[in-house]
Amino acid sequence: MGTACSTDQAVLLVGSAAFPENYASFQDHGARTPSDRVDAAVTLGPSNWAKRFPKAAGDNQSPIDIVRSDVQQDPFLTENPLRWTYNGLQCTSLLNTGSGWRVDVSAPGPNLRGGPLHNNYQMVQFHSHWGTCSETGSEHTIDGEHYAGELHLVHYNVDKYNKPSEAACSDKGLSVVAIFFKEGKPHHELKKITDCMSKVTFKGMKCPLEQDIDINSIIPANSSYWTYEGSLTTPPCYESVTWIVFKEPIEVSREQFEAFRELMSYKEGGGPQVATDGPILKNFRPPQPLNGRVVREPAE
């Protein structure tokens, strides 16, 4: 059922990556574990990722700028509606990855299918990207404009692959549902996460979530979406992702964004290890060239 990934590839699903204001160019001496090697490459900044991870220079990279006037309407997507069933999910823990936060998910079975997907997919985790202010932070842009942030619900293809790490570097291996954040009123479900942020201030800290999170309450009321074929937005940037980008944003308060930005990129007690260590103020990759790819939406 697919090809096995190397150990380096298997850390791909760690979540978001921290991209500081000033990218320090340094050698990854002492980066002994796969996670350390990815962290070292990430700190070089997105423009340098391809030096360590060649796929980052591929033709089908993500995120992209979605130009509304160029989107193609597809009757197939209308005839085969996107379906999700997030009941029964258990959001088990919150982790500071050193580059953002991640919630690990235990699912009883497949929970995403239809639309552009020809197989069944199961959620394994979700994480977020943000910026230094409400004007930037999302990875995907719409007609050149950013939202304040972006949530990624990561699913893997359970019909073709045995585990997420195998799917991550394989054809049609992953589907990521992207939900935009805009600054506004507090989000009730995300408050269950931000209330725990003080327990995971430093890299590697992990805590069980005290309240279960209703993923259905995070999905926008208007479920219209765009879809295209792309990649993971962090190293190794494998081109294995079918993206589903919801058009309608959800509101997140300024205080909740500030809780994100108070996370630290280094371990407790160790102090900053490189010049870019500190609060995780921004962790989004800039839009990548479309290179002839087509963005689709259900036909009206």
pLDDT of residue 43: 61
Token digits for 234? 């962090």
Mean pLDDT confidence for 155-184: 97
CB 263 within 8 A of CB 128: no
Mean pLDDT confidence for 36-49: 69
212-224 pLDDT, tens digit each = 899 999 999 999 9
CB 176 within 8 A of CB 241: yes
CB 276 within 8 A of CB 264: no
79-110 pLDDT, tens digit each = 999 999 998 899 999 999 999 999 999 988 89
44-82 pLDDT, tens digit each = 688 889 999 999 999 999 999 999 999 999 999 999 999
192-200 long-range Cβ contacts below 8 angstroms, 24+ apart: 193/94, 193/101, 193/103, 194/255, 194/256, 194/259, 194/260, 196/94, 197/94, 197/101, 197/259, 197/260, 197/262, 197/263, 199/94, 200/94, 200/95, 200/96, 200/101, 200/263
Mean pLDDT confidence for 128-157: 97
Matching CATH number, 7-298, of 3.10.200.10, 3.40.50.300, 3.40.50.620, 3.30.420.40? 3.10.200.10
Helix (H) or strand (E) holding 256: helix 254-261
The model carries a pTM of 0.89
d(C-alpha 163, C-alpha 1), whole Å: 10
Cα dihedral sign for 209, 210, 216, 222? negative
User: What percentage of the chain carries pLDDT values higher than 90?
Assistant: 77
Mean pLDDT of the chain: 88
pLDDT of residue 101: 98
DSSP secondary-structure letter at 286?
Answer: P
d(C-alpha 125, C-alpha 245), whole Å: 17
Distance in Å from the first CA to the final CA of the chain:
37
Q: Where are the domains of the chain?
A: 7-298
pLDDT of residue 210: 81
DSSP secondary-structure letter at 116?
Answer: T
pLDDT of residue 29: 34
CB 26 within 8 A of CB 49: no
d(C-alpha 239, C-alpha 67), whole Å: 21
Per-residue pLDDT band at 5 (split at 50, 70, 90): low
CB 115 within 8 A of CB 225: yes
Q: Which residue has the higher pLDDT, 240 or 15?
A: 240
Per-residue pLDDT band at 10 (split at 50, 70, 90): very low
DSSP secondary-structure letter at 248?
Answer: S
pLDDT of residue 26: 26
